[in-house]
Every structure is written in C-alpha cells, then in structure tokens.
Amino acid sequence: MKDSMNVASDIVISAKNVWKVFGNNPEAYLKTMTAGRSFDDIRADGYIAGVRDVSVDVSRGELLVIMGLSGSGKSTLVRCLSRLHEITAGTITVDDQVIGDLSEKQLIELRRNKMGMVFQSFGLLPHRTVLENVSFPLEMRGQDRHTRRERALEVIKLVGLEGREEYFPRELSGGQQQRVGIARSLAIEPDIWFLDEPFSALDPLIRREMQDEFIRLRAMLGKTIVFITHDFDEALRLADRIAIMKDGAIEQCDTPDQIVLNPATDYVAKFTQEIDKARVVHAAGLIKPDLTGSGEPVKASATIQELAKMLIDDARDVIPVADETGPIGAMARKDALDILLQAN
C-alpha cells in the first residue's frame, strides 16, 4: 500500500492496523492466524475479512474517498470508523479519542455532536414533511421547537430546497430526496461527515447535479469528509485523496493525480487505464524537486487539459508552478505534453 499525505497534519480520524473479521470467535482466530494470509485463505478457514489490516489517517478539512468494487470492504471500513461495526483488532481514534473505549452514552454523544451520516438509501420518514425530516435529529437531541425549526430552515435553504419545506418525501424527485438526507445530516453541524454512496441511486444527470451541489457545500462548510463510491470518475472529481480497496485491504491511498500517474498495483492500474489523464492531472502533480523554472508561472490547480494551448505554444522546457501563496516549484513541459498526448 502506498499512502502519501499531502494535506495538513491535523489528524481527525486515525485507523491503525484495523481488522473486521466475521465468523465464529474472530478475535481468537486472529490471535492464532498465520501472518500474511490472503482474503481467500481466511475465507477457506471459515471467516470473512471485511477489513484487513487497514491503516489510514484523515486530516481536518480533507475529503477522503474510499472506493472499490462491490464486496471490497469500503462500506465495512466506514462503519468501523463510525463504530457502527465493532472492530476485531486494531485501533480507531476520532479527535484523539479511542472510539472503542467509549461507553454507549459517550458514543451516542459523539455521533450526535460530531458525526453526520448520509447513506445510499435516503431513509426519510414518509409521514413527515421536509422540515420535519430535517429537524428530526435536533428533536432527538432535545432542542426546543423554535431552535430546531430555525436550524432546519437554514440548512434547507443551503441545499437548495427553500419553498419545499412542507412537501412530503413522495412529492419530491430522487435528487430532492437526497438533498433532504444531506440537509438532515448537516442539521447537527457535524465536524465529520460520512457519506456511503449517496448518489449511486440517482440517474446520471441528477447525479452530476448532486456532485456539483456537494462540491459547492464542501467549499462553504469545510467539513472533514469520508465519501464512499464505486465510481472512479466520481472519486476523481471529488477527492483530495482516494483509497482504493480490494478484498478488505487498501491497495493504494494517494491524491487523484498520483493514483492516475503512478498506480501502485496492477489492480489500481485497471481503474486508471481508460482515464483521460489530461483531465485529471494538475500542474502541481507534475512538480519535480530538482527543477527550477523562470517566466510566468501556471496555476497549481490547473489541469493539463486546461493548460493545453499554453503547453503547445510555450517554448520553455521547464515551467514554474504557483498557488495562491506564490511559487511552489516547477514542472517539465515534456511531462505535461506526454500526458496531453496520452503518451505511454
């Protein structure tokens, strides 16, 4: 597994050597299990390794996408991170608290005050209006009617459903129902946001619209987000980093640029082989420490596709790269042109 942290070191969630094994007395099995046994070996022993020796950190304000095919362990891992599943071995901390050590009461308080969760199934209460659905977690928290109504109205407006407060779920489209689910999770003002394939049930046009909305909300709110998807394009579009899972383990955890440019395993490479790298790779991803450029810099956040005309017209061999704070390095023009022309 390759894990590159290019974000702030303020760690909010930390998983260390986490296992979730299903079967008869999995704790005893793990203690006697021979090191290095594969997913299939463990299954042959009569157990299922939903999460297999996973270590990953999530920084404050980061959006980590966990992706993989069905059965890869991505949903199981997120349920472990939120302690919806009890782990078999390892340690998970949230804001320096070992969540496995929390009492039931402490865990409920953590979820009520710090964690928002959105799942693939909208889970709306059919007999309650949009306003009542969104304010429901605040009602469970014991807030008074006026306070929870004001907060619910605020997040309903935030997700673009103003004017539909008195609608029932059956009167809404799929995309609107998903917005209600997102608003409900935001109502408690969580620091950490878990989203398990929230857009997978939507048709492609509405899904794209919800991704746009999610990007907008994320920019406004600055949450720490763990987002599950099986859609690599969605992962590339949303993530600061992507963790690709297979058979309960993380194959690679890195930025979208590095996942595309330097897949760590053949399995990861299969996800990237059809990707238009010029659309994904940013100038910042091509910086090399031994290069120094001169002249007008390009934006670190610009994709190679966006820089296409400049790259073709510019005669410089080395081009400086800058972010909003100033110069951060330089990239080789040839590297960028190779990506633009899909050179191997």
What DSSP line would sit under 71-132, residue for residue? TSSHHHHHHHHTTSS--SEEEEEETTEEGGG--HHHHHHHHHHHEEEEESS----TTS-HHH
Q: Which residue segments constitute the domains of the chain, with CATH numbers given?
A: 2-275 (3.40.50.300), 278-340 (3.10.580.10)
In the numeric block, which tokens belong to residue 178?
């998903």
Residue 123 has pLDDT above 90, yes or no: no
Can you count the helices (H) and strands (E) in the chain?
Answer: 14, 14
Model confidence at 103, pLDDT cuts 50, 70, 90, reads very high
pLDDT at 3 > cutoff 60: no
Give the model confidence (pLDDT) of 148-157 as tens digits. Answer: 999 999 999 9
Q: What distance in Å separates the CA atoms of residue 74 and residue 198, rounded to the nearest whole number?
A: 13
Q: Looking at residues 271-287, what average pLDDT do you find? A: 92
Minimum mean pLDDT range among 59-63, 217-221, 307-311, 340-344: 340-344
Strand partners, 299: 322
Band of pLDDT at residue 7, cut at 50, 70 and 90: very low
Percent of the chain with pLDDT over 70: 96
Q: What are the tokens at 327?
A: 């110069």
* Average pLDDT value over all residues in the chain: 91
What SS3 class is residue 338? helix
> Quick check: 144 pLDDT over 50?
yes
- Residue-wise pLDDT tens digits, 179-214: 898 889 888 888 999 999 888 877 888 788 888 888
Quote the pLDDT of residue 2. 40
